[in-house]
Every structure is written in C-alpha cells, then in structure tokens.
Amino acid sequence: MSHLILHVFQHGALLSKERGFITCKADDQPVRRLPHGDIRAVIIAARGVTLTSHFLSAILEGDGIVLHCDEAYQPCGMTAPLARIVDTQAFLNQNAQPARLNARLWQEMLRGKTANQAHVLQSKNLRSAHLELALRTEEFDESNCARRYWQLYFPSIGWGGSKRDRKADSPPNQMLNYGYAVLAALCHRSLVIHGLSPLLGVQHKPRYRAHPLVYDLMEPFRPAVDLMLAAFMVSPDVTMRAWCKHVGTQLRETRVRHGQYSLKLMDAIDASANSLARSYATKDAEAFWVPELAAA
C-alpha cells in the first residue's frame, strides 16, 4: 500500500467519500480521486472547504489525520482519530512516568536529533566540532548544540539570519514552522494508533494547547525537515505554496536508515512510535529506535 499526503489548495473545494475513494471537487477543476485507505494525512490550506461526514469518518477510521491551516498556510487545528490502548502494560508504565526510563529515552532522542543535525550540515559540506564532541559524550547541552547548528545552517541555505525563532516572520522560519507542524501531526497520529497518550511526555511538560509526547517523538525527525528546506531553497519557485507541496512530496519519498535497510519517512515515524510503546511495555530504553537520516 502506498501512503499519501493530500494537500487541498482549491478554495471552496468539497471533500467527500464515494465508493471507496476520497474525492475532491472544485469549480473548473477535474474531480480528483484517491483510495481512502492510502491517505495518511490531509492538509487543508484553502478557504471555504467543505468536509462531509463520510469524508471525515473514512479518514479517521483509516487512522488518518486532518491538519487545518489558516490563509497564511500556518496550521491552526487538527482532527485526529480517537486514542486507544493497544498494550495495557505499555500505557500503565507510561502513565506511571518512570523517571529513569524517561531520562534514558530523552537522551536517545537528543542523540538522534544531534546526529541528524550533523548529517544536515554534512550535506552542505559543513562540520560542527561542538556537535561532534557532544555525540561522543554521555550528556551534552542541547541549547548550545542547537545554537551552533542554526548559526551554520541558516547561512548555508542563503539566509542572513543565524537564529531559529518560531515566532519570526522570516520565510525560512515560517517554512520550518509549517514543516514541523506537518511532522507533528504525523507523530500525533502514530502515537495514538500505537496506544500511547500524547499528553504524557518523556521530557516536554504539559501546557496549554500542547501535546508533550508529540514534541518528544519528533525531535530526531526535525532535521529531516531542515534537509528538505535546504534542498528547496535552491529551487526556482521559493514560495510558501510551493514549499507546502514540497513537504508533502518529501515526506513520502525521503528515506531513513533502519538497520541494514531503509524506510520511508512516514513509515519511520510509525516504527519509532511503535518502538517507544515497546520501551514502555518492557521498561527498557534499548527497545526504542531512533531514525538516521543517511539512507541505507
């Protein structure tokens, strides 16, 4: 089965389900049809889009997720499947918030993120001695690693800034916001279908309108979005709409290393969430799998 991300850019479109297919109808546009079982996520970035109950139930029953964006292509809401408990012991162990296990899991998440950030820099023929040193130690300063990384990353993609600011209105920061939001939606979906509560984080704490475990799980995957943006910034059409399409394509096509093999990025998110559930079930951080951006 192929897994797709459906982007809706047509204003006034109608999304519905007809005979096993999700259909998208818009004025002066041919009807688009996709098998509903193939759709992993739907991203709505248009005004006046109508969603039928058949459409929503088909997407949610198929463990898909719907991400709603405002007119500036910035995500503002999400429709997700109901949470479920797949492994009772995993959920109970997660709910107990085991401090030692969570500390080890967080170290693995940060180590994976830093290794993948180093790979992003390598793709631009850059190295950071600070990141390389951090990867050789048991504990390291995440904020310093991030600061050094962004100081090298932004100039490498042709941007004058050197600081990551999710509230900034600069194009690269806005594009990263969008890419991370799509990534977060896919992580949220994977956690729910593998029986973990997004509200119980490994490191991030609960706060208003936030899902801590989503932010934890996506840490090692964030550099994948950075890598997508680095490639996108040299394209002839560097617009927000073009970036949205690029993210959808790359989430389907980008592969990450998994042992001797490689997985599509969307499947890797599922595999990582599943391994996190196994870690909680067995109380063993060794069961947790962290993705590597370098494909096999």
More confident residue, 138 or 61: 61
Q: What is the dihedral of CA 279, 281, 284, 287, to 10 degrees?
A: -40
Mean pLDDT of 161-190: 87
Tokens for 23, please give them: 């259909």
pLDDT tier, 1 (very low <50, low <70, confident <90, very high otherwise): very low
- The pLDDT assigned to 272 comes to 97
- The pLDDT assigned to 73 comes to 80
Residue 185 has pLDDT above 80, yes or no: yes
Tell me the pLDDT tens digit for each residue of 5-48. Answer: 898 988 899 999 998 899 999 887 888 899 888 899 999 988 89
Residue 199 has pLDDT above 80, yes or no: yes
Residue 115 has pLDDT above 90, yes or no: yes
Mean pLDDT of 102-108: 94
- The pLDDT assigned to 229 comes to 96
Per-residue DSSP letters for 43-79? EE-SSS-EE-HHHHHHHHHTT-EEEEE-TTS-EEEEE
Mean pLDDT of 142-146: 86
Q: What is the 3-state secondary structure (H, E, C) of 216-246?
A: HHHHHHHHHHHHHHHHHCCCCCCCHHHHHHH
**Residue 164 CB coordination number (10 Å):** 17
Residue 136 has pLDDT above 60, yes or no: yes
Closest CA to 266 of 185, 165, 167: 185
**Domains (ranges, CATH) in the chain?**
4-79 (3.100.10.20), 88-287 (1.20.120.920)
- The pLDDT assigned to 209 comes to 67
pTM confidence score: 0.90
Tell me the pLDDT tens digit for each residue of 215-270. Answer: 999 999 999 999 999 999 998 899 999 999 999 889 888 888 888 888 889 999 99
More confident residue, 3 or 224: 224
- The pLDDT assigned to 15 comes to 95
Residue 296 has pLDDT above 60, yes or no: no
